[in-house]
A and B are shown apart, each in its own frame.
Chain A
Amino acid sequence: GQNIDQPTEMTATEGAIVQINCTYQTSGFNGLFWYQQHAGEAPTFLSYNVLDGLEEKGRFSSFLSRSKGYSYLLLKELQMKDSASYLCALRPGGGYQKVTFGTGTKLQVIP
């Protein structure tokens, strides 16, 4: 099985940088997703990491370390609209579509 842990809530200041962590225990996986979900809305895809290392997409970056069972999402130059939940999810190696989600981290950006 797969177990994914994320902090429940975080608060950060507009303009700052915030790192949202995701740790996991699994026997093997294909890759790790990050999704953003605003309150009352559907999740939207942010990133997919297969290889170890940092992948950057504008203000958002995602990092994966398979050996440490660890990923993080880095948000730079925080904006008020970044207030949302951030979901970490694993795609297993065998069942490509049995994607498992963590419970998410609710980020509040304050002025």
Chain B
Amino acid sequence: NAGVTQTPKFQVLKTGQSMTLQCAQDMNHEYMSWYRQDPGMGLRLIHYSVGAGITDQGEVPNGYNVSRSTTEDFPLRLLSAAPSQTSVYFCASSPGTDRGYTFGSGTRLTVV
């Protein structure tokens, strides 16, 4: 099993550009989430999904969209990149409410 796969690992964007961060898991997990991690602020939840076709907002959803058309994939779209979105983004999946997350290796995004 590959676990949770995130692509790309690194990305530099110009302000105003859009892009999609990819996340795929092969563990048949129902639950998937996107977090961003910034120095001194810990992991903050952007969006999450409890199953295919179901998504909801987390703590910091502005500027991001998600969709969950399949169990495996949970892409995160940046609509119009801003320097404040410079961060490390982690995708995570979980098989159930009492189970821990499996995290992807992260995407390091810089917006200039």
Contact size range, B: 20 to 34
Contact size range, A: 20 to 34
Q: Is the CB of B42 within 8 A of A101?
A: yes
Q: Is the CB of B48 within 8 A of A101?
A: no
Tell me how many residue pairs across A and B have CB atoms closer than 8 Å. Answer: 60
Q: Is B27 an interface residue (CB 8 A)?
A: no
Q: Is B85 an interface residue (CB 8 A)?
A: no
Q: Is the CB of A103 within 8 A of B98?
A: no
Q: Is the CB of A99 within 8 A of B41?
A: no
* Highest count of chain B CB atoms <10 Å: which of A45, A99, A102: A99
Q: Which residue of A lies closest to B33 (CB)?
A: A97
Q: Is the CB of A103 within 8 A of B40?
A: yes
Q: How far is the CA of A33 from the CA of B50 in the complex (A)?
A: 19
Q: Is the CB of B33 within 8 A of A99?
A: yes
Q: Is the CB of B42 within 8 A of A42?
A: no
Question: Which one of B41, B99, B105, B106 contacts A103 once the chains associate, using CB atoms below 8 Å?
Answer: B41
